[in-house]
Copies of this chain bind each other. A is one copy, B any other.
């Protein structure tokens, strides 16, 4: 455990690659090396040492106090360099390239045993990101997510890259990224342990193909979810895909049912796809758990509110019955508004009406959580009106609220205003309902543990 932190929090890092070697099949290339060097120079706040084995020669004993080495070479050379790193006391390694044979993997495992050096990979492809200190061992130039509190662990480079791309594009706040690859040493269990004590991480997202140490994984996850929700997507749940997972990351995918039971036991929230993974993580990182099933819907449009009511029910939640007092307060103030849930506050609703109705609804003990729908198209709502919603949400920190600026441009406009606020945004009511379901599941996990 101790040395794992050097994967994310090193002060001095060596980037070991070659300006000449290019693998015919494989990731080693001068361009990749150059890109990692570029990103580290641009973002990393610690010291970076670039070791081009065709110019400088390989790492020597003179390189003191190196804490992390990132190796981007074909298997044989990578192992040579890894051994040198281990001998001069480097604490951790990220091995980017893939294509290692079993015997070669064993050589790396032996280094771990002999020197205590921790190894991420091989076949991590993208390595690690830490938004706090700017560590970025990926070869995607200028690709750095916003600092935030969601940690992402991906067994697959491609899926991790997809999540990284998604996080950057939608400006999702990230603490750390780890691409595990073949996990000959550092695995899900180690990373969960690390994120459990990482003050910058509030939610952990996992993409998993297979788990080797099932019992340990469940035990660790159970500990983590007490304070930090864990969300997961499992790849290789069908037989055909499982076969491919075996050759992809040497994972025995196991049956979907067994995996599902294991995740439930672990208290991990499972989602259907990568978008839902982040949708859930955003809600969990910004809003409190949903302590009951009763959802109120507040909307300036009728149709989307109906779709929202459907989605709430389809996700195992209920439409809250508002108290007569709440209804009366709303209907007296806004003549023409029908305050039966879903509440249609009419197309001309602006900031004041949203804030007032939301405040009354959140004060109602029949309500456990709220979905707000604020369309711009076909309505009078302006993006800045959404700030009033955020202010109201802050006054009721015990009940979760999610917001739906439904559509493409509408979502984008409101996202520009509220993207960094604590109000989770979704472009369709169905996605918001699934996020509420994740908040409900986390509440149930906590209840079980209490």
Contacts and interface: CB of A to CB of B under 8 A. Distances in A.
A125 interface: yes
A275 B428 contact: yes
Interface size for chain A: under 10, 10 to 19, 20 to 34, or 35 or more residues?
Answer: 35 or more
A155 interface: yes
A96 to B, nearest CB: 11
A158 B273 contact: no
Contacts of A160: 303, 378
A407 B301 contact: no
A302 B311 CA distance: 33
Interface in A271-310: 272-275, 299-307, 309-310
Contact of A162 (B162, B243, B375): B375
A430 interface: yes
B408 A158 contact: no
A305 to B, nearest CB: 7
A321 to B, nearest CB: 10
Contacts of A427: 275
Contact of A409 (B165, B243, B244): B165
A305 B156 CA distance: 11
B377 A140 contact: yes
Given A25-B346, A245-B306, A249-B302, A161 B377 contact: yes
A166 B306 contact: no
A69 interface: no
Of listed A154, A301, A344, residue having the most chain B CB within 10 A: A301
B245 A377 contact: no
A16 to B, nearest CB: 20
A304 B240 CA distance: 14
Contact of A247 (B301, B303, B338): B338
A155 B304 CA distance: 11
Contact of A238 (B236, B314, B376, B377): B314
Contacts of A243: 340
A435 to B, nearest CB: 14
A128 interface: no
Contacts of A162: 301, 303-304, 375, 377, 406-407, 410
B347 A430 contact: no
A410 B165 contact: yes
B245 A378 contact: no
Nearest to A31: B380
B408 A170 contact: yes
A446 interface: no
A273 B164 contact: no
B275 A412 contact: no
Interface in A334-351: 335-336, 338, 340-342, 344, 346-348
Interface string A134-169: 000011100100000000001111111111111111
B336 A241 contact: no
Given A157-B378, A237-B310, 9 more contacts: A125-B347, A158-B299, A162-B304, A162-B406, A165-B406, A166-B407, A168-B409, A238-B314, A244-B305
Interface of A: 24-25, 27, 125-126, 138-140, 143, 154-170, 207, 209, 233, 235-241, 243-245, 247-249, 272-275, 299-307, 309-314, 319, 335-336, 338, 340-342, 344, 346-348, 375-379, 406-410, 412, 427-430
